[in-house]
Chain A
Amino acid sequence: MKDAPHARDEILARIRKNLAGAKVPPLPSAAGVPGSPKSITTPSERLDLFVRSLEAVSGRVHRVRSVERAVRAVSSILEETGAHELALSDGALTQQIARKLSSAVATFDGSADRTRCLRAPAGISDAQWGIAETGTLVLESDAERHRLVSLLCPLHIALLRASTIVGSLGDALAKVARERPEAMSRAVTFITGPSRTADIELTLVVGVHGPQQLHVVLLEEG
């Protein structure tokens, strides 16, 4: 396949010609963007806002105080939905919890076995960050292979440490930014509730292409 060799140069030349002599207005500072949530300075305020925001978009939140309790929470979510098979990410918390699940749940590496992942009833991953402002989970591909297990199955369980919840979208963007662009995760996925559509008469339907249910197990340690 051959692109026209001069397309790039010609487009840039057109742009430069049409911008010749244009006044360049200053670029506003990116600090202190208007509309950041106010008065959520303490971790517990961030946590409360996160839970409220996520529940407002039909996400389910399970607050636990230890890894053992997290295992129990995951087990009961699976029981409740009748899922006996669970696609795993390679996230640290996910792996830790998967090892402690009952043998009645068949676990497997979700990103290695795509065919199985496509049929599995449930997937589980960590989430690297939470955003209080919107109830959003942030998943970074450098931390774990999250792209398939958080998307393909009807149920997605995400494990989040309460200490990683930040206040605003801007705070989360600062967390995923790196010194050099090459060091950024190849895929950063922001997830706010289950997959949804309103394309038929604006009627809300959940679970169109992605998960129908999103459960977040929130680990509040010490």
Chain B
Amino acid sequence: MIAHLHAQEFPERARDALTDGPLRQAIARATDTIGDRRAKAVLEIPEWEELREQARAVKAHTLARLDHYLLQFVGNAERQGIVVHWARDHAEACSILGDLAAAAGAHPIAKSKSMVTEEIGLNRVLEERGLRPVETDLGEWIVQLAGEMPSHIIVPAIHKSRQQIADLFASKLNVDRTEDPAELTRIARRILREEFVDAGLGISGVNFAIAETGSILLLENEGNIRLTTSLPKVHVAVMGVEKLLPRLADLEVFLRLLPRSGTGQRLTTYQSLLTGAKRRLGDEGPEAVHLLILDNGRSSMLRNELERETLACIRCGACLNACPVYRHVGGHSYGSVYPGPIGAIVTPQLAGIGAAGELPFASSLCGACRDVCPVKIDIPRMLLRLRARAVAPSPGESARPRPWSERLGFRLWAWAMTSASRYRLTSRLARWFHGPLVRFGPLRAWCADREPPRPAPRPFRDLWEKGSIQ
């Protein structure tokens, strides 16, 4: 299950977002900028396509033998003193993490950005237990202060202008109002540094888990992940079951792909490759390291090759920036912690088609997401499969109710397109009754926002048969 899910509200939320001029401007500008940076960074590598293919192949292999690699990884991690926990779903994960946090005492909990902790709704659960989680990534912290959800995988506060952030800081933090990003960042550094010093527990995500060594790798630009994993006495890393890579050497592929795809950087500022817990007195770092491995619906996505591909996602956010729908409606419209094209296939698979069946329809199937995906996930194909599941659900799943006009329309379409004579007949009818058809017929809803195509006065096949075209 995904926490704070409102995916079925996509149509209403998208309509609201479309009338929000400043929001659309902010998102368009940001996604254009990151998209351009990505394109430049990709051009530096002539073998980009081979690199993507290698990444896809490594992930496909690993996911097909996931049980093997998970056990190898966990064995290596445990042998080196890491305490490994397993959670079947979000509730189990939150309970384990809540216990660890409570055991750390009355201190703030330093959190670095992690999609999986958003997915399980960890912050709210910790707060309900009287604990105080503090997001330490600047964008996540802004979103937390505002009481909102992140709207982009890489740039959580992409939807906020500097004026809004200035107002937010002035009202919540008791500081002089400033709109200067450098000044706002300095304020964040000062306040969050205090929190880091007090924190008894640091919670991070995991970008890659290396089976052959039991290591985890974390990427970032700010340094807050390094602080989260170095300063508090206890570090807990949270990962989905799918994060594995077989070999340390495989990191080369993904380190070349991920930063370029996500932000257009050759490499993010920091990578922390962490292996095992403290060994010697005088070693730096936490006294204890825990690792939580979460299923929460992922194992059910292993069933066939296409669905399994979804688990190869490395959360770079490139598909969001490329998506014409995301660029117009923003991340909050998706009503899920996973927005954009990847969200439209991840969310319904994790939360169920009944809870998120609207999302696969939020796409024009243009394929821009597939073109930029560093691990070559066939998102459009998966969207189609999920659409089919939404209208004809398997037993136990609830259907996405469609308007009668749409159902009738598609039935007529199928009837007409499966026979040459019916096609000829209906296209003639369409020419005669074009006007009433788009005004009153099943096409009315579709035509409300679009210019309906006009049938040619004489069909091509007539002209062809008469020899007017050669």
Give chain B nearest CB distance to A93 CB in angstroms: 19
Q: Smallest CB-CB separation from A90: which chain B residue? A: B282
CA distance A205 to B268 in the complex (A): 14
Does the CB pair A151–B230 fall under 8 Å? yes
Q: Verify B54–A201 contact, CB threshold 8 A.
A: no
In contact, B302 and A197 (Cβ under 8 angstroms): no
Residue A100 at the chain B interface, CB threshold 8 Å:
no
Q: Are B66's CB and A4's CB within 8 A? A: no
A99 interface residue per 8 A CB criterion: no
A147 to chain B, nearest CB (A): 4
9 contacts between A and B (CB under 8 A): A11-B86, A18-B302, A22-B302, A34-B51, A36-B252, A169-B252, A185-B275, A186-B275, A187-B275
A43 to B267, CA, bound (A): 22
Max chain B Cβ within 10 angstroms of own Cβ: one of A27, A192, A198, A203: A198
Q: How near does chain A come to B416, taking the closest CB pair, in angstroms?
A: 39
- Of B137, B222, B273, the residue contacting A190 (CB under 8 A) is B273
Chain A positions 196-210 with a Cβ under 8 Å from a chain B Cβ = 196-203, 205, 207-210
Nearest CB on A from B304, distance (A): 8
Q: Once the chains are docked, how many angstroms separate the CA of A35 from the CA of B261? A: 14
Contact assessment for B188 and A208 in the assembled complex, using a CB-CB cutoff below 8 Å: yes
Is the beta-carbon distance between A191 and B269 smaller than 8 angstroms? Answer: yes
Return B248 CB to nearest CB of chain A, in Å: 5
Is A133 an interface residue, CB under 8 A from the partner?
Answer: yes
Q: Is A181 an interface residue (CB 8 A)?
A: yes
Within B146-189, the residues touching A (CB, 8 Å) are 155-157, 160-162, 165, 181-182, 184-185, 188-189
Tell whether, in the assembled complex, residue A191 and residue B270 are in contact, meaning their CB atoms are under 8 Å apart: yes
A189 to B217, alpha carbons, bound, how many Å? 10
> Beta-carbon contacts of B233-260 to A below 8 Å, as 1s and 0s?
0000000010000111111110110000
Q: Which of B30, B34, B60, B99 contacts A25, CB < 8 Å?
A: B60
B253 and A33 contacting across the interface, CB-CB below 8 Å = yes
Cβ-defined contact, A199 with B157, below 8 A: yes
Q: Are B285 and A189 in contact (CB under 8 A)?
A: no
> A151 — which chain B residues lie within 8 A by C-beta?
223, 226-227, 230
- How far, in Å, is B386 (CB) from chain A's closest CB? 18
Taking a contact as CB atoms under 8 Å apart, the answer to whether B87 and A187 are in contact is no
Proximity string of chain B (263-284) to chain A, C-beta cutoff 8 Å, 1 when within and 0 when not: 1001111111111111100111
- Type the 1/0 row for B1-38, where 1 means its CB is closer than 8 Å to any CB of A: 00000000000000000000000001001100110000
**A3/B273 in contact, CB under 8 A:** no
Q: B136 and A209: CB pair below 8 A? A: yes
Q: Does A194 contact B (CB under 8 A)?
A: yes
On whether the beta carbons of B88 and A15 are closer than 8 Å, the reply is no
Which residue of the partner chain A has the closest CB to B293?
A: A11
Cβ of A28: which chain B residues have Cβ within 8 Å of it? 54, 57-58, 61
- A194 to B226 alpha-carbon distance, docked (Å): 13
Name the one of A174, A197, A202, A207 contacting B30, with C-beta atoms under 8 angstroms: A202
- With a cutoff of 8 Å between Cβ atoms, the chain A residues found around residue B33 in the complex are 202
B199: min CB distance to chain A, Å = 13
Which residues, 74 to 92 on B, are CB-close (under 8 Å) to A? 76, 79-80, 85-88, 92
A3→B294 CA distance, assembly (Å): 13
Report whether A186 and B274 are in contact in the complex, using a CB–CB cutoff of 8 Å: yes
Contact B157 A11 (CB under 8 A): no
Residues of B within 8 A of A177 (CB): 213, 248-249
* Nearest chain A residue, comparing its CB with the CB of B278: A186
A208 to chain B, nearest CB (A): 5
A74 sits at the interface (CB 8 A): no
Contacts of B76 in A (CB 8 A): 181
Tell me, rounded to whole Å, the shortest Cβ–Cβ distance linking A88 to chain B.
13
Provide the B47-82 mask, 1 if CB < 8 A to any CB of A, else 0: 110110010011011101111001100001001100
Closest residue on chain A to residue B166 by CB atoms: A200
Chain A 162-184 against B: per-residue CB contact (8 Å), 1 yes, 0 no? 00000011100110110001101
- In the complex, what residues of A have CB within 8 A of residue B50's CB? 34-35
CA distance A28 to B249 in the complex (A): 11
Q: B267: which of A14, A18, A136, A146 is its contact (CB, 8 Å)?
A: A136
Total of A-B residue pairs, C-beta within 8 Å: 270
* Chain B proximity of A57: nearest CB distance (Å): 8
Flag if B226 contacts A210 (CB, 8 Å).
yes
A30→B188 contact, CB < 8 A: no
Interface assignment of B425: CB less than 8 Å from any CB of chain A? no
CB of B80 within 8 A of CB of A207, answer: no
A19: CB under 8 A from chain B? yes
Least CB distance, A35 to chain B, in whole angstroms: 4
Q: Is A141 an interface residue (CB 8 A)?
A: yes
B103 within 8 Å of A (CB atoms) = yes
Chain A residues near B197 (CB-CB < 8 A): 118
Q: B60 contacts which chain A residues (CB < 8 A)?
A: 25
Most buried by B among A15, A26, A141: A15
Selected from A15, A35, A176, the residue in CB contact (under 8 A) with B299 is A15
* A residues less than 8 Å from B214 (CB atoms): 181
Query: Does A195 lie within 8 Å of B269, measured CB to CB?
Result: yes
Residues of B within 8 A of A31 (CB): 249
Given contacts A192-B268, A201-B161, A208-B188, contact A1 B221 (CB under 8 A): no
Does B300 lie within 8 Å of A18, measured CB to CB? yes
Interfacial chain B residues near A53, Cβ < 8 Å: 266
Chain A CB within 8 A of B139 CB: yes
Min CB–CB distance A41 → chain B (angstroms): 18
Contact A208/B161 with A16-B67, A168-B252 known, Cβ cut-off 8 Å? no
- Considering only residues 1-47 of chain A, those with a C-beta below 8 Å from chain B are 1, 3-4, 7-8, 10-12, 14-16, 18-19, 22-28, 30-31, 33-36
Contact B138 A208 (CB under 8 A): yes
